[in-house]
Amino acid sequence: GQSLPNIPDGSDIINSPGTTLRFRLPIATSSGWALFGATVVCLLWNGVLSVYLVIAVNGHVQGKPDWFLTLFLIPFVLVGIVLAVIFVRQVLITTGIGPTLVEISDHPLRPGHPCRLFLSQSGRLTINSLQMFLVCEEQSTYRQGTDTRTDTCEPYRQEVFRRERFEVHRGQPLETECELLVPALAMHSFKADHNEVNWKLVVKGD
Amino acid residing at 149: R
Amino acid residing at 66: D
Q: For each of the chain's 206 residues, which pLDDT tens digit applies?
A: 456 677 776 776 777 888 899 999 887 765 567 778 889 999 999 999 999 999 999 998 998 889 998 999 999 999 999 999 999 888 877 777 888 899 999 988 888 999 999 999 998 888 999 999 999 999 888 888 888 888 989 899 999 999 999 999 988 999 999 999 988 888 888 888 888 888 889 999 88
Question: Distance between CA 152 and CA 138 in Å, rounded?
Answer: 6
Residue 184 DSSP label: T
Task: List % helix, strand, coil for the chain (3-state, nearest 5).
Answer: 30, 40, 25
Question: Residues 193, 197, 202, CA angle at the centre, nearest 5°?
Answer: 130
111 within 8 A of 182, measured Cβ to Cβ:
yes
Residues with Cβ within 8 Å of 77's Cβ and at least 6 positions away in sequence, in order, are 49, 53
